[in-house]
Amino acid sequence: MTSRSQYHVVPDGGGWKVEHGSSSDSTHATKDEAIAAGRKVAKGNQPSQLVVHNTDGKIETEFTYQDDPFPPAG
């Protein structure tokens, strides 16, 4: 099984950024813009996962593209 690439939407000062590993892929003025950009790059690099964080750094939600190894029951 191929490992998934992980992308993160995280706060960046007054804006938001999409990170992959230790590098920043893009920066955005709003969280919604960062999520849209993150989903686009994650969908283009499947299998992948987009993890969206709150302003305090906690995970808010995540999106998995192609073959979720831990699908919910039922």
- Is the pLDDT at 69 greater than 80? The verdict is no
Nearest Cα residue to 62 out of 74, 49, 72:
49
Q: Express each pLDDT in 5-58 by its tens digit.
A: 999 999 999 999 999 987 778 999 999 999 999 999 999 999 999 999 999 999
Model pLDDT, residue 21: 83
- Is the pLDDT at 68 greater than 90? The verdict is no
- Angle, vertex CA 11, rays to CA 47 and CA 38, nearest 5: 25
Nearest Cα residue to 42 out of 1, 69, 5:
5
Domains assigned to the chain: 5-65 (3.30.2390)
